[in-house]
Structure 1
Amino acid sequence: MLGISPTRAGISPKASMQARPMSGSTLSEQFQTAVCAEVESRRAHGLKAAFGQVARLFGLTERRVRACWHHEIRRVSADEWELVRARHRQLLQQRHDQLAHEMELIMAAIQDDGGVP
Structure 2
Amino acid sequence: MEDEAEPDDRPRRRRRRPPPDDFDTNELLVPAGSTYAIIALYVGLIGLCLPLVGIVFALPAFVCGVVAVRRWKKADSYGGVTSNIRAVLGLVISGGAVLLWGTVAVMIALKQ
TM-score (norm 2): 0.37
Q: RCO greater where, 1 or 2, for CA within 8 Å and sep 6 or more?
A: 2
Higher-helix-fraction structure? 1
Q: Which has the larger radius of gyration?
A: 2
